């Protein structure tokens, strides 16, 4: 006999009530066991999205998600530090960051996810590398951490299984942007990983789930607070996601850009954020004397990348997938590009096949967008501005519709704010 019914819990949150600890524990466990159906959890997620959760509810929700599975111990001889991004457009930072921090002497267990809405997923990107596999056992993760120092993979089946189910459900039910659900999702997985420290990249702007700085700061404080309360050294960077990060948005195109960064090149904003996050991770790991910028320039991070890819069955030297169709979007006027809306570009990439509309949908490895100019760059009317990559040409009109109004050109561009606005520490 179940102590509660799903309908009673849904009604409580629908009516703006605080869920009791017992209700939270039960509904998360019952959903994991299949007693609470997908449509019922969808309704509850929407009620949480609309009515929120207080601090204690969110902490209890997170603890219940952790308790739905096993808690790992991924510590090695090196200090162990992880990173998580709340998601952005062109946010491929994990790809160069994990091998960079490993090359600096830390161990990086990066258990990652797939795309949510208009933002790309790290696993979807890496699966563009021929042969690379996302699924590793706990023993394989530990062995790779000890040997290579970095692993980017899917969470094991037993790690916060409630979150794995809910993560996919949120993506297709319009409930991604809820601060309690985001906080519970992120921190349940990170706490269950058993790392020594965690750095969060909390994004704000049109391409982020948190549109305003205030909302991003509130989320950052919630995340850091949960981490510190569980004894996890935690900090968060607030970073700008009003324009796409780098010039590549999609899957294979973002892998290619990440390799450029690891080889000492790549877009300046990708390099800047990679180094900033690496510095914070190394500080929490007790390795602040190491300069990640110098390590990146030395090529040692690329060597770790190649070893990391090979360890997971991939070929770092193999050609990446190329699209069956490329559509060029020209600049609408001559002048300086003043705006390139990140959300619009993200939706366009999603419509081209880089993301999924349903949780069971596949993604196209070659789908995405190349931004041939970024705000502040000069453009000439009729010259190429964006390249749309897809294997389904019939998706192009939908992508172009998403880009309507996304581009602005003027005689001059105002100065942009900083990429990293502030750091929130416990």
Residue linked to tokens 């349940």? 188
The CATH number covering residue 40 comes to 1.20.970.10
- 88 and 237 housed in the same domain: yes
Point out the catalytic residue in the list 68, 112, 185, 235: 185
- 119 and 264 housed in the same domain: yes
Catalytic residue flag (residue 425): no
Whether residue 317 has pLDDT greater than 90: yes
How many domains are there within the chain?
3
Q: What is the mean pLDDT of residues 167-191?
A: 88
Decide: 207 and 343 in contact? Cβ < 8 Å: yes
Residue 37, domain member (yes or no): yes
- Tens digit of each residue's pLDDT (9 = 90 or more) over 262-292: 999 999 999 999 999 999 999 999 999 999 9
Query: Could you give the CA distance from residue 276 to residue 269 in angstroms, rounded to a whole number?
Result: 10
- 289 and 232 housed in the same domain: yes
- 186 and 332 housed in the same domain: no
Confidence of residue 155 (pLDDT cuts 50, 70, 90): confident
Query: Could you give the CA distance from residue 19 to residue 27 in angstroms, rounded to a whole number?
Result: 10
Confidence of residue 229 (pLDDT cuts 50, 70, 90): confident
The region, left, alpha or beta by phi > 0 then psi within -120 to 50, assigned to residue 405 is left
Give the model's pLDDT for residue 117: 67
- 375 and 347 housed in the same domain: yes
- 142 and 267 housed in the same domain: yes
The CATH number covering residue 227 comes to 3.40.1030.10
The per-residue pLDDT of the chain, averaged, comes to 94
Write out the residue range of the structural domain in which residue 395 sits: 325-410
Q: Which of 342, 398, 393 minimizes the C-alpha distance to 367?
A: 393
Q: What is the mean pLDDT of residues 374-388?
A: 97
Give the model's pLDDT for residue 8: 96
Kindly give the pairing relationship between strand 420-425 and strand 368-371. unpaired
Catalytic residue flag (residue 118): no
Enumerate residues 6+ apart whose C-beta is below 8 A from 263: 299, 302
Give the model's pLDDT for residue 359: 63
Enumerate residues 6+ apart whose C-beta is below 8 A from 354: 115, 120, 124, 249, 250, 251, 363, 364, 367, 368
Point out the catalytic residue in the list 83, 170, 217, 247: 170
Query: Could you give the CA distance from residue 173 to residue 196 in angstroms, rounded to a whole number?
Result: 34
Residue 417, domain member (yes or no): no
Whether residue 96 has pLDDT greater than 80: yes
Catalytic residue flag (residue 170): yes
The maximal CA–CA distance of the chain, rounded, in angstroms, is 70
Q: What is the mean pLDDT of residues 349-367?
A: 86
Give the model's pLDDT for residue 231: 86
Residue 143, domain member (yes or no): yes
Residue linked to tokens 């160069």? 96
Residue 1, domain member (yes or no): no
Query: Could you give the CA distance from residue 104 to residue 301 in angstroms, rounded to a whole number?
Result: 8
Give the model's pLDDT for residue 48: 97
Give the model's pLDDT for residue 116: 64
Give the model's pLDDT for residue 160: 86
> Phi and psi (nearest 5°) for 138?
-60, -40
Query: Could you give the CA distance from residue 187 to residue 182 in angstroms, rounded to a whole number?
Result: 8
Decide: 399 and 351 in contact? Cβ < 8 Å: yes
- Tens digit of each residue's pLDDT (9 = 90 or more) over 232-257: 999 999 999 999 999 999 999 999 99
Residue 418, domain member (yes or no): no
Q: Is 331 exposed, middle or buried (0-12, 13-18, 19+ CB in 10 A)?
A: buried
- 138 and 233 housed in the same domain: yes
Stretch among 36-45, 52-61, 330-339, 352-361 having the lowest mean pLDDT = 352-361
- 125 and 209 housed in the same domain: yes
Query: Could you give the CA distance from residue 234 to residue 224 in angstroms, rounded to a whole number?
Result: 6
- 231 and 351 housed in the same domain: no
Point out the catalytic residue in the list 83, 84, 190, 217: 84
Residue 420, domain member (yes or no): no
Task: Kindly list the distances between the CA atom of residue 413 and the CA atoms of 88, 213, 330, 334, 406, in Å, as whole numbers in the listed order.
Answer: 23, 22, 19, 13, 15
- Tens digit of each residue's pLDDT (9 = 90 or more) over 395-420: 999 999 999 999 999 999 888 899 99
């Amino acid at each position: 006999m179940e102590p509660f019914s799903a309908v009673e819990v849904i009604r409580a949150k629908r009516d703006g009530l605080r869920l009791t600890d017992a209700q939270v524990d039960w509904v998360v466990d019952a959903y994991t066991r299949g007693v609470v159906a997908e449509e019922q959890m969808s309704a509850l997620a929407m009620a949480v999205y609309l009515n929120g959760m207080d601090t204690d509810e969110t902490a209890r929700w997170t603890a219940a998600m952790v308790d739905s599975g096993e808690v790992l111990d991924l510590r090695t001889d090196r200090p162990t530090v992880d990173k998580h991004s709340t998601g952005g457009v062109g946010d491929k930072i994990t790809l160069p960051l994990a091998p960079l921090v490993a090359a600096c002497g830390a161990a990086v267990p990066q258990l990652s996810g797939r795309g949510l809405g208009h933002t790309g997923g790290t696993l979807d990107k890496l699966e563009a590398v021929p042969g690379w596999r996302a699924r590793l056992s706990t023993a394989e993760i530990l062995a790779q951490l000890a040997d290579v120092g970095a692993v980017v993979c899917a969470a094991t089946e037993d790690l916060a299984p409630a979150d794995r189910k809910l993560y996919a459900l949120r993506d297709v039910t319009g409930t991604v942007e809820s601060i309690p659900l985001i906080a519970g999702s992120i921190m349940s997985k990170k706490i269950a990983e058993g790392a020594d420290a965690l750095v969060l990249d909390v994004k704000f702007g049109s391409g982020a789930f948190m549109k305003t700085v205030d909302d991003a700061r509130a989320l950052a404080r919630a995340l850091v607070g949960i981490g510190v309360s569980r004894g996890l050294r935690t900090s968060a960077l607030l970073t700008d996601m009003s324009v796409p990060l780098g010039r590549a948005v999609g899957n294979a195109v973002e892998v290619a850009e990440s390799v450029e960064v690891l080889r000492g090149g790549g877009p300046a904003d990708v390099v800047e954020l990679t180094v900033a996050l690496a510095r914070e991770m190394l500080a929490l790991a007790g390795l602040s004397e190491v300069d990640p910028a110098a390590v990146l320039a030395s090529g040692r991070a690329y060597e770790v990348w190649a070893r990391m890819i090979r360890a997971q069955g991939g070929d770092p030297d193999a050609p990446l997938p190329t699209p069956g169709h490329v559509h060029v979007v020209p600049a609408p006027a001559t002048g300086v590009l003043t705006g390139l809306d990140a959300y619009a570009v993200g939706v366009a990439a999603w419509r081209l096949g880089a993301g999924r509309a349903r949780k069971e949908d596949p993604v196209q490895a070659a789908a995405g967008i190349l931004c041939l100019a970024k705000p502040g760059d000069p453009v000439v009317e009729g010259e190429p501005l964006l390249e749309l990559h897809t294997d389904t040409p019939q998706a192009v009109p939908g992508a172009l519709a998403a880009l309507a109004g996304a581009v602005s050109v003027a005689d001059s561009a105002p100065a942009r704010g900083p990429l990293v606005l502030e750091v929130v520490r416990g």
